[in-house]
A and B are shown apart, each in its own frame.
Chain A
């Protein structure tokens, strides 16, 4: 029959390294016997209560680290986890949407697949980052951890927005506007010498100017960010609002199939010897635009909030 003592001893030794299990078992039984002898009026139960929670004893007897990631790597682990998740999720979702558009799948399927991809990305990223940190924690010796002042990180607020970053933002905005004009005036596609724009020429009656205006707004914004030295919360909010408005315009046009030039689609079909004109999936285009713009808005907001914390 299994006594309370048997169960107590088992609770202590079951997770110990095999080589010390028997010895701890034996000593513990002898100690419990000593305690019972010393308190003849106490029953087994009271003696075990006196010894306390077996989990505490087990933790004391176990010489191995009893955590997955130790305290001096914990925050580094969280940072890496956040970084990897924030890259893996949009990357995998973008790939899924791209794949869905190639396969010409429906909106519902694309959304469902994207959610599945995001979930998979989180689970995979969390798993592999954790495994990597557990291995590092177990294998690195204290000699690897000798610290020197050279290892000190630079606080985010101490490195202002680099000039190259500002220049890149401005050049990027100008390039997008240039492309919009170029594709209309000269285009990549010609039909017997005639220019066939990629974007619907009807857009020049209105929406195109809104898009150009929104893209151009990135230029004064980049200059303001450069002056401020960093992304402040108000600037990040302005950026987010601009992105959302641009998303609403482009998304609306894409969903209404008003974005791509129908002549181009017909021409491409003709060249590919297809009887039906190409039918680009408006929802897919809208989803890709949404992924890019929301990602950008969230990134800048995150920087702004983080640097605000760093300045306190």
Chain B
């Protein structure tokens, strides 16, 4: 008996769960150079993380209030922009998250039911 096909919204919810932490990790990784919100969004999209502004902009402020990011207003250019950069604490958290990520990746690969020998990132990224 074949398992019932998972409804698309169920799949979307679980994919969302898997991605949630990766966006934080990606932000902390990219913000070694300071960036403003929209530039970060574009960079993330180009790197294959399609995250909504709805999610990203509030996330940046949350990370800032947790002390993982700092921000400054750059008023030198024609349009003032708010730039974010990772803090020392942010780097520590990022490294710990990255170690955790690799640990889970390793552990998942040990499971007998995970048969994909390579690049699960390609198979899970087929829809948003």
List the interface of chain A (C-beta within 8 A of B). 20, 23-24, 26-28, 30-31, 33-35, 38, 50-53, 56-57, 59-61, 63
Contact = CB atoms under 8 A, between A and B. Distances in A.
Nearest to B60: A27
Interface stretch (B4-12, B21-29, B74-82): B74-82
A118 to B, nearest CB: 43
B91 interface: no
Interface string B46-74: 00000011110111011001000000010
B46 to A, nearest CB: 12
7 contacts: A23-B82, A31-B36, A38-B42, A53-B54, A59-B58, A60-B59, A63-B62
A34 B38 contact: yes
Nearest to B82: A27
A52 B61 contact: no
A34 B58 contact: no
A52 to B, nearest CB: 4
Contacts of A23: 82
Interface in B66-123: 73, 79-82
B38 A57 contact: no
B60 to A, nearest CB: 9
A185 B38 CA distance: 94
Given A60-B58, A60-B59, A61-B61, A31 B79 contact: no
A93 B90 CA distance: 62
A30 B80 contact: yes
Contacts of A20: 61
B55 A60 contact: yes
Contacts of A26: 73, 80, 82
Contact of A38 (B38, B55, B61, B65): B38
Contacts of A30: 36, 79-82
A57 B37 contact: no
Contact of B54 (A34, A38, A52): A52
Contacts of A24: 61
A60 B36 contact: no
Nearest to B39: A34
A60 B82 CA distance: 18
B57 A63 contact: no
Nearest to A54: B54
A83 B61 CA distance: 42
Contact of A57 (B58, B62, B65): B58
Nearest to A34: B38
B32 to A, nearest CB: 21
Report which residue of B38, B52, B59, B81 has the largest number of chain A beta carbons within 10 angstroms of its beta carbon: B38
A146 B53 CA distance: 37
Given A27-B82, A60-B59, A34 B53 contact: no
B65 A63 contact: yes
A241 B59 CA distance: 61
A72 B59 CA distance: 25
B19 to A, nearest CB: 16
Contacts of B80: 26, 30
Given A26-B82, A30-B79, A60-B59, A35 B38 contact: yes
A27 B54 contact: no
A50 B61 contact: no
